[in-house]
Chains A and B, each alone.
Chain A
């Protein structure tokens, strides 16, 4: 089979036909799309396919290699699970946009040139904002606007950077770019916004917790991992990424401890996990890149699973706030169990997926002697146990009983969570099978006695610290509140600056207007007073004073004449 049909179109064109189906048939049709695309990917040979000549450039719509295939597989898997998770809601707008969004992310992954990457990049932005707006209402509208501004900004940087890159190199090919010149910097910023680099990150914890359970599950899989894919493709071994990534692992965990909305906790947690991947890409060795993309794969599953469980809680109780929840294990035992599997996976407990993927990044950092980085990642790993490993399941399902009694999650949600949970455990137990689809062949062995014991000590004693602080009452309670992040600058400071500037301009305008007003009034007053019979303008002048004035004018004229 040739690979000349872009796989993305199976989902994107397929999405357009979703409204034609009803009920069970629609569900079956939507599940068929990612399955068909997956079977197609299995049959396509490696290489450059679907090449189009445009503007003297060759656009490649299907670059098939191990890196693009890995992300293709996981994106299709995420689309499949999201569709199962969405079946109870039967919201056709959500399903169509979700499918287009997934398709365009897959298109971007297989794009072999910067122009087609840019086009797909923009489609992910526009389709995903419709998911942010899926909850509808005024607040959702404002959140979506802030979200889309960041996404479109990323597209602008990619466009300008890509054009400059084309001018500099004469080629649109999307390969290793690196931080060479301003074009590389622009493209890095474009990828950095999608990957939630510090100070470009706030769109993520702002938007993801504010939409519907289904939309969040779609959103959490694609945009950020597309950013990670693009970084791995274009900026592997860029040292600056090591430090950016290290920062990303460390700062969000402080927010995650004190955040009340559990889906926002997961959003901060996501930035923390992205940090590990960015570090791996920055190190750039084969082990590190393998670790980064493997962790992206695992994260889509366990983070998706955690968002699914919190989405189920939101659906059933109407809230995902820690301060309102507790004791739900009595009503939702299956959701509780699946959530705990996700929590164990993200915490990187042995036998769960995070353990076999994150440890590659840690080992790569240690092997290259990055001491500070390694210590920070170890600290961040302990932090993950706190906010994702314990806080999420504990405050939602255990803690003090909130008295809330609800139904278990809908069956389709449970099926989606069960599959995700099974894959998290499967990857953890059979790492070698999983490692075989990574970009570089590896003989990495995560399960050595030394590594397992070290990891268990780190994780269990981090947990112990949490339990001790909870039992002694020192642990900060869940409070109905929000926390200021960098969005404060554009939601509070910038509007305040604009308001002050506007007042200032109005003030100056006011002073000017007053001055103009009183000036004209003064002239009118003077001229009308002097127009009285005895006024300056109306009185009769003696002839001699007239002659005197004429003489003065002539003298002045002569003076100017000679001086000139």
Chain B
């Protein structure tokens, strides 16, 4: 029997590499705030790190809140068939 083909992503160490690379990319993006002058209709949106924090916290809060909503909303797949 032939060995199933191994993919680069099958190795967890490689996934960790990608994860760290993503962190580095994000940190570089924060650094860009020092160089690029920002224009926004709302003044507060030009504050250092506004979009960074809003994106991260917004998404984290969304996921955690949705996870709690499962207690209220989640049912078995055949709920309506019973």
Interface residue ranges, A against B (CB under 8 Å): 139, 253-255, 257-258, 329-330, 363, 366-367, 369, 371, 374, 378-379, 382-383, 385-386, 398, 401, 448-451, 453-469, 471, 474-476, 479-485, 491-492
Give which listed residue, B9, B38, B60, contacts A450 with CB less than 8 A. Answer: B38
Asked if B13 CB lies within 8 Å of chain A CBs, one says no
Give which listed residue, B40, B55, B72, contacts A382 with CB less than 8 A. Answer: B55
Asked if B1 CB lies within 8 Å of chain A CBs, one says no
Q: Are B59 and A467 in contact (CB under 8 A)?
A: no
Q: How far is the CA of A479 from the CA of B77 in the complex (A)?
A: 10
Give chain A residues whose Cβ lies under 8 Å from the Cβ of B64.
474
The main secondary structure of chain A at its interface with chain B is helix
Q: Are B58 and A378 in contact (CB under 8 A)?
A: yes
Q: Are A401 and B10 in contact (CB under 8 A)?
A: yes
Give chain B residues whose Cβ lies under 8 Å from the Cβ of A468.
60
Which of chain B's residues has its CB closest to A491's CB? B80
Give which listed residue, B9, B23, B51, B77, contacts A457 with CB less than 8 A. Answer: B51
Give which listed residue, A366, A458, A491, contacts B40 with CB less than 8 A. Answer: A366
Q: How far is the CA of A483 from the CA of B60 in the complex (A)?
A: 21
Number of A-B residue pairs having CB atoms within 8 Å of each other in the complex: 152
Q: Are B66 and A254 in contact (CB under 8 A)?
A: yes
Least CB distance from A35 to B in Å reads 41
Q: Are A476 and B32 in contact (CB under 8 A)?
A: no
Q: Are B74 and A479 in contact (CB under 8 A)?
A: yes
Give which listed residue, B7, B29, B45, B51, contacts A330 with CB less than 8 A. Answer: B7
Q: Which 10 A-B pairs have the closest CB atoms?
A: A366-B41, A257-B66, A461-B55, A462-B59, A465-B59, A457-B51, A458-B55, A382-B58, A461-B56, A462-B55
Chain B residues 20 to 71 lying within 8 A of chain A, measured CB to CB, are: 22-23, 25-26, 29-30, 32-33, 36-42, 45, 51-60, 62-67, 69-70
Q: Are A371 and B62 in contact (CB under 8 A)?
A: no
Contacts A366-B41, A492-B80 given; does A476 touch B29 at CB 8 Å: no
Give which listed residue, B9, B41, B62, B73, contacts A383 with CB less than 8 A. Answer: B62
Give chain B residues whose Cβ lies under 8 Å from the Cβ of A485.
73
Q: Are A464 and B70 in contact (CB under 8 A)?
A: no
Q: Are A379 and B62 in contact (CB under 8 A)?
A: yes
Give chain A residues whose Cβ lies under 8 Å from the Cβ of B55.
382, 385, 457-462, 465
Least CB distance from B2 to A in Å reads 13
Q: Are A257 and B75 in contact (CB under 8 A)?
A: no
Contacts A258-B73, A460-B29, A484-B73 given; does A450 touch B40 at CB 8 Å: yes
Interface residue ranges, B against A (CB under 8 Å): 5, 7, 9-10, 19, 22-23, 25-26, 29-30, 32-33, 36-42, 45, 51-60, 62-67, 69-70, 72-77, 79-81
Q: How far is the CA of A139 from the CA of B81 in the complex (A)?
A: 9
Q: How far is the CA of A383 from the CA of B54 in the complex (A)?
A: 11
Least CB distance from A404 to B in Å reads 13
Least CB distance from B48 to A in Å reads 11
Give which listed residue, B29, B70, B77, contacts A453 with CB less than 8 A. Answer: B29
Give chain B residues whose Cβ lies under 8 Å from the Cβ of A476.
63, 66-67, 70
Give chain B residues whose Cβ lies under 8 Å from the Cβ of A385.
55, 59
Q: Are B51 and A449 in contact (CB under 8 A)?
A: no
Q: Which of B19, B40, B41 has the most CB of A within 10 A?
A: B41
Which of chain B's residues has its CB closest to A492's CB? B80
Least CB distance from B18 to A in Å reads 9
Which of chain A's residues has its CB closest to B74's CB? A481
Which of chain B's residues has its CB closest to A256's CB? B66
Q: How far is the CA of A450 from the CA of B51 in the complex (A)?
A: 11
Which of chain A's residues has its CB closest to B62's CB? A383
Q: Are A378 and B54 in contact (CB under 8 A)?
A: yes
Contacts A457-B55, A476-B67 given; does A471 touch B60 at CB 8 Å: no
Q: How far is the CA of A459 from the CA of B33 in the complex (A)?
A: 15
Which of chain B's residues has its CB closest to A456's CB? B29
Q: Are A386 and B23 in contact (CB under 8 A)?
A: no
Least CB distance from A374 to B in Å reads 7
Give chain A residues whose Cβ lies under 8 Å from the Cβ of B22.
460, 463-464, 467
Q: Are B74 and A258 in contact (CB under 8 A)?
A: yes
Give chain B residues whose Cβ lies under 8 Å from the Cβ of A398.
9
Q: Are B36 and A450 in contact (CB under 8 A)?
A: yes
Contacts A379-B62, A460-B25 given; does A483 touch B75 at CB 8 Å: yes
Contacts A374-B42, A479-B74 given; does A458 touch B51 at CB 8 Å: yes
Least CB distance from A477 to B in Å reads 10
Q: Are B59 and A382 in contact (CB under 8 A)?
A: yes
Q: How far is the CA of A550 from the CA of B5 in the complex (A)?
A: 115
Least CB distance from B56 to A in Å reads 4
Q: How far is the CA of A70 from the CA of B71 in the complex (A)?
A: 44
Give chain A residues whose Cβ lies under 8 Å from the Cβ of B65.
254
Given A458-B55, A465-B55, A484-B75, list of 20 further CB < 8 A pairs? A139-B81, A255-B73, A258-B69, A330-B7, A374-B41, A378-B54, A385-B59, A450-B38, A453-B36, A456-B29, A460-B22, A460-B29, A461-B52, A461-B59, A462-B59, A466-B59, A469-B63, A482-B76, A483-B74, A491-B80
